[in-house]
Amino acid sequence: MEKNPANQKQSPFYKKVRDKIKLMNKIVNPLITLKEGDMYKIVAGNNRFLAGLELGYTEFPIKIITEENPKKIAEAMADYIPIDLDEI
């Protein structure tokens, strides 16, 4: 996640993600996470995570990868469902 998520929340893309989650009343695609000790680092899905928090979500769908590299991230995202953010 960005060091200053307040800046991220001002972006038009973030607002579209938030509004789409609100409209659909769910987060369709899981956050891609990397387990680091007892914690999980989000490597794909920061906007979904922040938007979910803003909307009151306390649980999120996640997919765990074992190493942070582009190939592993792409493999984890292979079954993502395309969401049209312009249809809000």
pLDDT, tens digit (0-9, with 9 covering 90-100), for 43-79: 999 999 999 999 999 999 999 998 989 999 999 999 9
Q: Which range among 1-5, 21-25, 32-36, 82-86 shows the weakest confidence by mean pLDDT?
A: 1-5
Q: For the residues of 43-67, what is the DSSP string, one character each? A: EE-HHHHHHHHHTT-----EEEESS
Task: Give the pLDDT score at 86.
Answer: 85
Which domains can be identified in the chain, with CATH numbers?
5-76 (3.90.1530.30)
Quick check: 2 pLDDT over 60? no
Q: Specify the pTM.
A: 0.87
CA distance 70 to 72: 6
Task: Give the pLDDT score at 3.
Answer: 62
Burial of 51 (0-12, 13-18, 19+ CB in 10 A): buried
